[in-house]
Structure 1
């Protein structure tokens, strides 16, 4: 069993070590899937960061007794996008 990190970072070495036992593995498809997964993970992390900043801003607005409905709606939309 190989972890995703070792596959992502050193797929060619893993491929060479497996040799003939893994001839039918679609290596390029695996490489593409690993890249896509990493990209999606980074996107979700960025969205979560934006959500946290937005939540902090909503808290600041509420403490200052300012309207926060627009910011709340944006954060709800962002939260739905993450799901």
Structure 2
């Protein structure tokens, strides 16, 4: 997938498939709490070797995703700050 990370809001079977692909590719996934669907199923759970992070608000979700991208790709930190 051509993304560095993803935030999951609700979603169904297609979203679950996308989450699986992201995790397979080692990309961070953050689920937004209380949005139901796929986010509720995977948020905060260990799936294989990877934990899907759970955020309790939009700002926290964005912060967590940016932290994970910075950790994995320090060279992108400047682009993220803009």
TM-score range for the pair, normalised by the shorter chain length: under 0.3
- State the structure with more CA Rg: 1
TM-score, normalisation: structure 1? 0.27
Higher RCO (C-alpha 8 Å, min separation 6): 2
Structure having the higher helix fraction is 1
TM-score, normalisation: structure 2? 0.27
